[in-house]
Structure 1
Amino acid sequence: MPQKMSSLTEAMTTFMQIIGLAKESLRKILVRGEFDEYPDEQNMHCTARLVEMFNQFSDELHKHAESDPAEKFLMEEIMVLEGTKVIGLPNFLPRTAFLTILQKRVKGISSIPTIFIEEVWSYVEEIVISVMMHHSEHYYQLQLSFRRAGHNLIAKMKERSINWVMEIVEMQKQTDYTCNPEYLSDWNKLMVQQDAFMKYVLTNVDCPSIIKLEGFGEIEVSHLEKYSHVLQLAFDLKMRMTAYWKIVLKRLVDCMALHLLLSIGNLVNKEFEAEIVNELMGPGGGIERMLEESPAVASKRQKISKSIELLRKSKEVVAKIMDKIGTYND
Structure 2
Amino acid sequence: MSKKLQMGAKQANAAADTKSAAADSAVTASAIVASYDDQIRPLLDAVDRLRHLKVTQEGIQLPTIVVVGDQSSGKSSVLESLAGISLPRGQGICTRVPLVMWLQDDPSVDSPKLQLEYGSGRVVATTEAKVADAINAATAEIVGSGKGISDAPITLVVRKRGVPDLTLFDLPGITRVSVQGQPEDIYNLVTKIIMEYIAPKESIILNVLSATVDFPTCESIRMSQQVDRTGERTLAVVTKVDKAPEGLLEKVTMDDVNIGLGYVCVRNRIGDETYDQARVEEERLFKYHPLLSKIDKSMVGIPVLAQRLMQTQAGIIAKCLPDIVKQIKNCLSRSIVELDQMPQDLNNIADAVRVFFHNVKQVCNSLEKVLVRGKFDKYLYEREFHGTARIAEMLSGCKGHQPPQLPAPISVPSPAQEEGRDDRSGSSRPCQRRLGVRQGPCDELLKHSDNFPQMQSSCRSAVQSLMDKVRVRSAQHVKEVIAMELVGDYTANPDYMKTWAPSFTFVVDLQDRPCRSKPTKIILEGFGEVDVSHLRVHADLAGKAFDLRARLTAYWKSIVLRLVDGLALHVLLSVKLLVEKDLEEELGNELLANKLAVVEKMLAPSPSTGTKRERLKKSIVLLRQSKEVVANNMDRISAAGEV
Distance 2:569 2:530 in 1: 38
- 1:129 CA drift (Å): 0.8
Distance 2:438 2:461 in 1: 11
- 1:314 CA drift (Å): 12
* Structure 2 counterparts to residues 175-190 of structure 1, below 5 A: 175-190=488-503
* Structure 2 counterparts to residues 131-210 of structure 1, below 5 A: 131-197=444-510, 203-204=515-516, 209-210=520-521
- 1:148 CA drift (Å): 0.8
Could you tell me whether the CA contact under 8 Å between 1:190 and 1:214 is conserved in 2? no
Select the structure of larger CA radius of gyration: 2
Distance 1:105 1:239 in 2: 23
More strand by share: 2
- Within the alignment, does 1:245 sit opposite 2:556 as a pair? yes
Distance 1:159 1:291, change over 3 A: same
* Structure 2 counterparts to residues 275-294 of structure 1, below 5 A: 275-283=586-594, 285-294=597-606
Amino acid of the residue matched to residue 490 of structure 2? Answer: Y
What residue is the counterpart of 1:41 in the other structure? 382
Please point out which of 537, 542, 547 is paired with 1:236. Answer: 547
- Within the alignment, does 1:256 sit opposite 2:567 as a pair? yes
- Number of paired residues? 290
Q: Higher relative contact order by CA 8 Å / sep ≥ 6: 1 or 2?
A: 1
Amino acid of the residue matched to residue 131 of structure 1? Answer: E
- 1:39 CA drift (Å): 2.5
Could you tell me whether the CA contact under 8 Å between 2:503 and 2:547 is conserved in 1? no
Could you tell me whether the CA contact under 8 Å between 1:7 and 1:291 is conserved in 2? yes
**SS of alignment partner, residue 218 of structure 1:** strand
Fraction of identical pairs, as percent? 33
In terms of mean alpha carbon deviation, does 247-256 or 218-227 score higher?
Answer: 218-227
Normalised TM-score (structure 1): 0.74
Amino acid of the residue matched to residue 17 of structure 1? Answer: H
Distance 1:178 1:207, change over 3 A: closer
Distance 1:273 1:105 in 2: 37
What residue is the counterpart of 1:88 in the other structure? none
Could you tell me whether the CA contact under 8 Å between 1:153 and 1:275 is conserved in 2? yes
Gaps of 5+ in 1: 78-96
Amino acid of the residue matched to residue 577 of structure 2? Answer: N
In terms of mean alpha carbon deviation, does 21-30 or 9-18 score higher?
Answer: 9-18
Distance 1:197 1:32 in 2: 55
Could you tell me whether the CA contact under 8 Å between 2:425 and 2:482 is conserved in 1? no
Distance 1:232 1:300, change over 3 A: same
**Deviation digits for residues 62-95 of structure 1, max 9, x if unmatched?**
xx26x255x7xxxx67xxxxxxxxxxxxxxxxxx
Distance 1:308 1:179 in 2: 73
**SS of alignment partner, residue 522 of structure 2:** strand
Distance 1:242 1:105 in 2: 19
Distance 1:219 1:52, change over 3 A: same
**SS of alignment partner, residue 211 of structure 1:** strand
- 1:184 CA drift (Å): 3.5
Distance 1:104 1:179, change over 3 A: farther
Could you tell me whether the CA contact under 8 Å between 1:113 and 1:165 is conserved in 2? no
* Structure 2 counterparts to residues 1-330 of structure 1, below 5 A: 1-61=342-402, 64=403, 67-69=405-407, 99=412, 107-121=421-435, 124-197=437-510, 203-204=515-516, 209-221=520-532, 224=535, 230-283=541-594, 285-301=597-613, 304=615, 308=619, 312=622
**SS of alignment partner, residue 232 of structure 1:** helix
Amino acid of the residue matched to residue 475 of structure 2? Answer: I
Could you tell me whether the CA contact under 8 Å between 1:209 and 1:220 is conserved in 2? yes
**SS of alignment partner, residue 27 of structure 1:** helix
Distance 1:218 1:159 in 2: 45
- 1:42 CA drift (Å): 2.4
Could you tell me whether the CA contact under 8 Å between 2:502 and 2:524 is conserved in 1? no
Distance 1:57 1:154, change over 3 A: same
Amino acid of the residue matched to residue 35 of structure 1? Answer: F
**Deviation digits for residues 12-46 of structure 1, max 9, x if unmatched?**
22112211111111111111111222223222221
Distance 1:189 1:112 in 2: 29
- 1:137 CA drift (Å): 1.0
In terms of mean alpha carbon deviation, does 253-262 or 138-147 score higher?
Answer: 253-262
Could you tell me whether the CA contact under 8 Å between 2:385 and 2:440 is conserved in 1? yes
In terms of mean alpha carbon deviation, does 256-265 or 213-222 score higher?
Answer: 213-222
Distance 1:13 1:299, change over 3 A: same
- 1:192 CA drift (Å): 2.5
Distance 2:343 2:623 in 1: 25
Distance 1:187 1:313 in 2: 82
Amino acid of the residue matched to residue 5 of structure 1? Answer: L
**SS of alignment partner, residue 124 of structure 1:** coil
Distance 1:231 1:12, change over 3 A: same
Amino acid of the residue matched to residue 598 of structure 2? Answer: G
- 1:227 CA drift (Å): 6.2
In terms of mean alpha carbon deviation, does 156-165 or 2-11 score higher?
Answer: 2-11
Distance 2:395 2:522 in 1: 36
**SS of alignment partner, residue 530 of structure 2:** strand
Could you tell me whether the CA contact under 8 Å between 1:281 and 1:287 is conserved in 2? no
Distance 1:24 1:183 in 2: 42
Distance 2:447 2:491 in 1: 47
Distance 1:147 1:177 in 2: 44
Could you tell me whether the CA contact under 8 Å between 2:459 and 2:587 is conserved in 1? yes
Distance 2:447 2:425 in 1: 35
